[in-house]
Amino acid sequence: MVQSAQFAHSLEGWFGFLPLWGWAAISAAIIIYFLALPFGGLATYVERKIAADMQDRIGPNRVGPLGILQFLADAIKMLGKEDFVPKGGDRFLFNLAPLFVVVGSCTAFAVLPLSKYLIGADVNIGVILILAVTTLIAPGILLGAWASENKWSLLGGLRAASQIVSYEIPVALSILPVVLISGSLQMGQIVDQQGWTLFGENPATFHFWNAFHNPFTFFAMFILFIGGLAETNRIPFDLPEAESELVSGFNTEFSGMRFGLYALGEFCDVFVMSAMVAALYLGGWHIPFLDIEKLGFALPTALVAMVHLTVFMVKTLLVVFVVMWLRWTLPRLRVDQLMGMCWKGMLPIAFINVLGTAVWMWVFKGQSMMQLLAGHG
């Protein structure tokens, strides 16, 4: 950290012409324009294409080649719509609420470990920071629902908030095994330790992907994924929206770009959750059994960063694909089933995972299954 303080000091020499808040504003703009908006936009297109494939349809095919510009047309349409606040609704809170959702999900992009050399801010409390900023989504949905002055909205909002608060606990508990293994909350460090390779020497701290560290982490990964699904209100946990019972749930009254902000926030949150699964359990930027930095000859850092970025994106987008695939596969849960599953099913399993990992770390002195099998470490 002292090193990073010196690094920051040397950066100050280069970039000192703007104060800290100026750089903060520029980085926020970069995150939104280069990560959040393109992903959110393309995700709507990809989701419709996947849905069409699964239902044996063609899907969007008019705007641009293969309909890929459909999301731009949608965005322009949404910008052109009337900015409508329902009569009797609360204008201030109605305008404020979507911002919570966008801020909450976009801020988390800052600590995603895209590559060893490309992390927006490899802060000391990376994992905690993601958990913290994504909690802002719950008040955003709840306040928006209340400000709409609509019974369906309020029901959806209450469902969303209770669901997010409940599933936060199994999610946090399934992150704990990873923290136990790596002894760090820093995203870069957590991913770096998963770089076990077949060739060359491995330091004793290097494990293979955390999902295969021990049997308990394998299940913890699924708990994290399911909890993430519930926190992002995706099918089969889409009770807050539930078209067939609540019209459109918490965003019934939202139209135009305010609705767009909710949708963007949801897609960004899906991306962040998938990236978390990929980084914490699926080895992040590491190609399995191969470390491109230990090939025997030095690659330029920029190329390494690009390869890392590609690998990380492939893993994350595969998880995103599973999320979209589930949407057309599973029916929606009932409210009591949802809560029962969280408190009676996932929470005990998450506790067992934490305890089991702790015992494994104590018995096998922190070695992973792969290290034990290979007989070194």
Partner 1 sequence: MDLVLLLAEIFTVASAVIVAFHPNILYASVFLLFAFCGVAVMFLFAGADFLAGAQIIIYVGGVTILILFAIMLTQWLYKIKLVDIRNKMLLPGVLALGIGFFLYRALHQMALSLPKLTPEALDKFTATPKTALMGQALLGSYLLPFEAITILLLGALVGAVWLARPE
95 interacts with partner 1 by CB under 8 A: no
Stretch that binds partner 1, among 35-43, 46-54, 130-138, 208-216 (CB under 8 A): 130-138
Binding pattern for the stretch 199-238 against partner 1, x by CB under 8 A and - elsewhere = ----------------------------------------
136 interacts with partner 1 by CB under 8 A: yes
Amino acid 122 reads: D
Amino acid 110 reads: A
Closer to partner 1 by Cβ: residue 60 or 228:
228
Partners of 115 in the β-ladder: 118
Give the tokens for residue 77: 């349409």
DSSP one-letter string for 286-311 = PBTBB-GGGSSSPPPHHHHHHHHHHH
Candidates 31, 85, 106, 129: give the one binding partner 1 (CB under 8 A).
129
Distance CA 142, CA 62 (A): 37
Q: In 3-state terms, what secondary structure has residue 214?
A: coil
Closer to partner 1 by Cβ: residue 5 or 76:
5
Q: How far is CA 12 from CA 20, 31, 34, 267, 274, in A?
A: 9, 21, 24, 35, 34
146 interacts with partner 1 by CB under 8 A: yes
Binding pattern for the stretch 169-188 against partner 1, x by CB under 8 A and - elsewhere = --------------x-x---
358 interacts with partner 1 by CB under 8 A: no
* Near partner 1 in 99-128, by CB under 8 A: 123-125, 128
Binding pattern for the stretch 22-61 against partner 1, x by CB under 8 A and - elsewhere = --x-------------------------------------
Q: Which residue has the tokens 């293994």?
A: 181
Give the tokens for residue 246: 């609540």
Q: Decide: 164 and 137 in contact? Cβ < 8 Å.
A: yes
Amino acid 156 reads: G
Q: Which residue has the tokens 């909690």?
A: 135
Contact residues for partner 1, defined by CB under 8 A: 1-2, 4-5, 19-21, 24, 92-93, 96, 123-125, 128-129, 131-133, 135-136, 138-139, 142-143, 146, 154, 158, 161-162, 165, 168, 183, 185
